[in-house]
Amino acid sequence: MPAEPPEISNLQLEDEPTRVIYCNGHAVLLTPVSKDGDIVIEVRDPSTLQFSFFQVDSQCLSRVSPYFETLFHPTKFHEGATLSEARLHLHESHKNSERAAVESLPRVTLEELGHLTSTRPSDRVVADFLRLLHGYDLPDLPKEISALKYAATLLILADRFQTISTVAPHVQHGKLAQALDRKLKASKTLQFNEERERQKLLIGLMIGHFPLVQRSSKALIINGSTMWDPEEEEEQDGEEDVDMWWDLPNGLETELRYRRECILRTLNSIQTYFLKQFTSKQRQCRLGYDSSAQCDSFQLGEMVRFFVRIGTLRLQGNIYDHGEGADAHPGNLDRLLESLRQCPSYQIDRNHSHCGLRTLILPILSYLELWISLEAQICARCWKDDRANYSWLSAPPSRTYKFQVSAPRGSRKNKSATSRTPCGTDHGVAKHIFTAETHEWKPDA
């Protein structure tokens, strides 16, 4: 975790359980976040229409949250004005008694808790979030609660109420951080789980944990997302909100999806390029004066058989157009590269040993593999500080990328470029390769 100084207070949580109070004749659940709190916050569950109440100290909240500061301000908002009036009234009627009964405290309704599903977060998370704003530490997390989802939800609430700087240290250090670390270590050996990866990515973004952003964004790009499936997208349209990790903020969702598309398009261009070359009139056979048209035909045949066999090519007639069945490859990119690498080295006879597809594409695949492993992920620093240049979406349009085996490869440490990127790495080469509109995969002459 980054070396932010921990700012966790030593205040231990007062063990006050949730209790039932009566409000207009109805029983409601109240969590006394602060026993002496002067305000009750109401949160309504849109699906059950039930309210949960949290007793809080308005001054504590105003101190750490510009959102609450404005809300409780006596002149800025209707809520604030009502509050100060109610407070005055309470003060009058309780001059000589101890503190006011919780039922008579002024109440504020929070309609919207941030980018979360219509089912609002559990009372537990909301209460813990409010506890953090009061300076309390987090209580122990029961085993049945997922540390990832819990931390992501806390941070979404923090984002909504402008309290990231108060909440983030509790995710970076202390017991939640330990629970998260355990979870992250354990999940390394597990299969890709999209929701988990998205929660990690969101947490990484919110607390500025750059390696987490890199790892999780790469996993999503390599494995793809159910959210990027065009059918899924139609279903999503018009439906209610999803949790923020299913729709990553600040254009990141679009960027990740676009990066995967660019990589797939680039890989597809290799096969299109060579099929075009071998179906053209130009001789491809590399045997110099003895080059033969039969060799080209043989290689074209084997090439088509290979691509069809691994499922990257579909032969389709053009006499009647069935429309674009444009389904992008849904699987894992590393596995796709691996199947392309299986290309056998056919030759028409023993003289034509270097005329086939294998000789042509292996150097290209190695080259692309290298750049995918280095640059498919999001560099969190450049994403944060230099998005306009860094984003693949902001690439200048319509360029051709020309590959030659012996051409200089470009480097991530290009002096003139690195001085211009926030992290000192030149991300430009990969961006050029994968966002180019056309690709020329020329073999060496």
Q: Which residues sit at the interface with Zn ion, rule CB under 5 A? A: 285, 287, 295, 352, 355, 379, 382, 423, 425
What is the Cα–Cα distance from 242 to 247, expressed in whole angstroms?
7
Q: Which is nearer to Zn ion, 87 or 387 (CB)?
A: 387
What is the Cα–Cα distance from 313 to 56, expressed in whole angstroms?
62
Minimum separation from the CB atom of position 270 to Zn ion (A): 20
Minimum separation from the CB atom of position 175 to Zn ion (A): 32
Q: Which is nearer to Zn ion, 18 or 418 (CB)?
A: 418
Minimum separation from the CB atom of position 427 to Zn ion (A): 6
Q: Which is nearer to Zn ion, 67 or 346 (CB)?
A: 346
3 state DSSP class of 170: helix
Q: Which is nearer to Zn ion, 159 or 296 (CB)?
A: 296
Query: Strand pairing partners for 44?
Result: 51
Q: Which is nearer to Zn ion, 28 or 300 (CB)?
A: 300
Q: Which is nearer to Zn ion, 188 or 415 (CB)?
A: 415
Three-state SS sequence of 177-227: HHHHHHHHHHHHCCCCCHHHHHHHHHHHHHHCCHHHHHHHHHHHHHHCCHH
Minimum separation from the CB atom of position 41 to Zn ion (A): 41
Minimum separation from the CB atom of position 356 to Zn ion (A): 8
Minimum separation from the CB atom of position 4 to Zn ion (A): 20
Minimum separation from the CB atom of position 299 to Zn ion (A): 7
Minimum separation from the CB atom of position 408 to Zn ion (A): 22
What is the Cα–Cα distance from 260 to 223, expressed in whole angstroms?
9
Q: Give me the sheet containing 39-44, strands edge to edge.
A: 19-23, 26-32, 51-56, 39-44, 107-110
Minimum separation from the CB atom of position 190 to Zn ion (A): 28
Question: Which backbone phi and psi does 106 adopt, to 5 degrees?
Answer: -60, 150
Residue whose structure tokens are 């494995």:
223
Q: Which is nearer to Zn ion, 57 or 302 (CB)?
A: 302
Non-local (6+) Cβ contacts of 197 within 8 A are 216, 219, 220, 223
What is the Cα–Cα distance from 213 to 210, expressed in whole angstroms?
5
Residue 411's identity, in one-letter code, is S
Residue 406: both structure tokens together: 């012996």
Residue whose structure tokens are 């999780």:
216
Non-local (6+) Cβ contacts of 399 within 8 A are 432, 435, 436, 437
Q: Sign of dihedral through CA atoms 249, 252, 254, 256?
A: negative
Terminus-to-terminus CA distance in the chain, angstroms?
Answer: 50
Minimum separation from the CB atom of position 105 to Zn ion (A): 50
3 state DSSP class of 72: helix
Buried b (16+ CB within 10 A) or exposed e, 321-350: eeeeeeeebeeebeebbeebeebeebbbee
**What does the DSSP 8-state code read for residue 54?**
E
Q: Which is nearer to Zn ion, 21 or 393 (CB)?
A: 393
Q: Which is nearer to Zn ion, 173 or 412 (CB)?
A: 412
What is the Cα–Cα distance from 247 to 202, expressed in whole angstroms?
10
Q: Which is nearer to Zn ion, 287 or 374 (CB)?
A: 287
Minimum separation from the CB atom of position 421 to Zn ion (A): 5
Q: Which is nearer to Zn ion, 297 or 366 (CB)?
A: 297
